[in-house]
Amino acid sequence: MKVKEIAKYVRSKNAGPFWITIDIFCRSQEDFQLLRQSPNLTADKVAKMYGVKPGSVQVFYADRINVIKYSFPRPHPQGSRYENDMHGGQQYVLLAEQEV
């Protein structure tokens, strides 16, 4: 089963000109725990998935609202010559397609 099949909503956005953040909103505490405990959604796996340095991904768990947040450095600063998603709005797709 994929993240997008479990989560209510997955989104990505800028977290400043040098960072991207991806939020996974879950419908229930059970779904939240399933995603939180997935070996495919660790900080190291997300770093590899997005091609950033191991140890650079920050993971935040908001238990009370069933949200998981990943933040990591952008490969290129927002608006730079080689940057390809100015608002970070399409970066969630890799994570949403990940098998749990």
Could you read off the pLDDT of 24-48 as tens digits, one per residue?
A: 999 999 999 999 999 999 999 999 9
What's the average model confidence in pLDDT over 11-34? 96
Instruction: List the structure tokens of 54.
Output: 């191991």
* pLDDT grade for 8, boundaries at 50, 70 and 90: very high
Instruction: List the structure tokens of 85.
Output: 């998603």
What is the C-alpha separation between 96 and 91, in angstroms, rounded?
A: 9
For every residue of the chain, which 3-state class applies, written as one string? CEHHHHCCEEEEEECCCCEEEEEEECCCHHHHHHHHCCHHHCHHHHHHHHCCCCCCCEEEEEHHHCEEEEEEECCCCCCCCCCCCCCCCCCHHHHHCCEC
Quote the pTM value.
Answer: 0.93
pLDDT tens digits, one per residue of 84-95: 888 888 999 999
